[in-house]
C-alpha cells in the first residue's frame, strides 16, 4: 500500500484491434496503428488499406495517399462516420477507394512473417474477396486502461477519466493526464505536454494544502 498526498493517473489507452485471425502475429509487420509513424515506410506502395471510416480513419487514409498509389478504406457499417468534409475529400480523390458494409475476416502472412493478404466479406452479398496490400492501418478507436478505476473515479461513456481544467479527477488530489483522460487529443505531443502541465497542477495543489515541503525553482 502506497500513501501519497497526490496521485497522477497516466495509464494510457490501447489501440482497439480487430480481433481477427492472424492479426496478433502481424502487428508491426504490415499491421499498424499510426499512419504518421509508419506510413513513410511504404512510399511507392501499390496499395495500402485503412480500416475504420471515422474521422481518424479517413483523415489518415488521405494522408497515406502521399505514399501509396491506392488507399482502400474499409468500414464495417453501411456508411462512413467521418465528417462530410472528409468524406467529400475521400470521394473526390482518385487514389482513394471506399468499401462500406465490409468485414475483415482474416489476415494471412508471408513465409517471411509479413502481411500477405486480407480476406474481406461484403456484409450484404456475402461475397468474400482477398486483397493484397503492402500494409493495413487500423483506426477503430481506443480502449482506455481504466478498469481499476470503475466505481472510484468519474468516467465518461467510453471509459475515459473525466477531469477539471486543472486535470484533477472527481477525487481531490488525484489527477489524470494523457490518452486516458476524457477530452484529450490522443496525440503523443499533447500527452507529453499534459505530463508537464499536470506536474505544475500537482505542485499548485500541494502548495495550497501546505504539503509541499520542498520548493523547486
For the annotated catalytic residues, the residue numbers are: 34, 37-38
User: Which cell is 80 given?
Assistant: 462512413
- Which runs of consecutive H residues, i.e. helices, occur in 39-105? 55-64, 84-92
Q: How far apart are CA 83 and CA 58, in angstroms?
A: 9
Q: What are the helix and strand counts (H, E) for the chain?
A: 4, 12
Q: Is 202 exposed, middle or buried (0-12, 13-18, 19+ CB in 10 A)?
A: buried
Contacts 24+ apart (CB under 8 A), 91-96: 93/62, 93/65, 95/65, 95/68, 95/69, 95/70, 95/71, 96/61, 96/62, 96/65, 96/70, 96/71, 96/72
Amino acid at each position: 500500500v502506497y500513501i501519497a498526498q497526490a496521485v497522477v493517473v497516466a495509464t494510457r489507452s490501447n489501440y482497439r484491434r480487430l480481433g481477427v485471425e492472424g492479426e496478433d502475429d502481424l502487428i508491426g509487420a504490415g499491421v499498424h496503428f499510426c499512419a504518421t509513424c509508419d506510413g513513410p515506410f511504404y512510399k511507392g506502395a501499390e496499395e495500402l488499406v485503412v480500416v475504420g471510416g471515422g474521422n481518424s480513419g479517413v483523415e489518415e487514409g488521405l494522408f497515406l495517399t502521399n505514399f501509396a498509389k491506392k488507399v482502400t478504406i474499409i468500414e464495417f457499417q453501411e456508411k462512413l462516420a467521418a465528417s462530410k468534409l472528409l468524406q467529400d475529400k475521400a470521394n473526390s480523390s482518385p487514389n482513394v477507394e471506399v468499401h462500406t458494409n465490409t468485414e475483415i475476416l482474416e489476415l494471412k502472412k508471408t513465409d517471411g512473417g509479413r502481411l500477405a493478404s486480407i480476406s474481406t466479406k461484403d456484409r450484404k452479398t456475402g461475397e468474400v474477396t482477398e486483397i493484397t496490400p503492402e500494409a493495413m492501418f487500423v483506426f477503430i478507436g481506443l480502449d482506455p486502461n481504466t478498469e481499476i478505476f470503475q466505481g472510484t473515479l468519474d468516467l465518461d461513456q467510453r471509459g475515459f477519466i473525466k477531469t477539471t481544467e486543472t486535470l484533477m479527477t472527481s477525487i481531490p488530489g488525484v489527477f489524470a493526464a494523457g490518452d486516458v483522460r476524457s477530452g484529450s487529443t490522443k496525440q503523443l505531443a499533447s500527452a507529453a505536454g499534459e505530463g508537464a502541465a499536470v506536474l505544475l497542477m500537482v505542485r499548485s495543489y500541494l502548495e495550497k494544502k501546505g504539503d509541499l515541503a520542498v520548493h523547486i525553482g
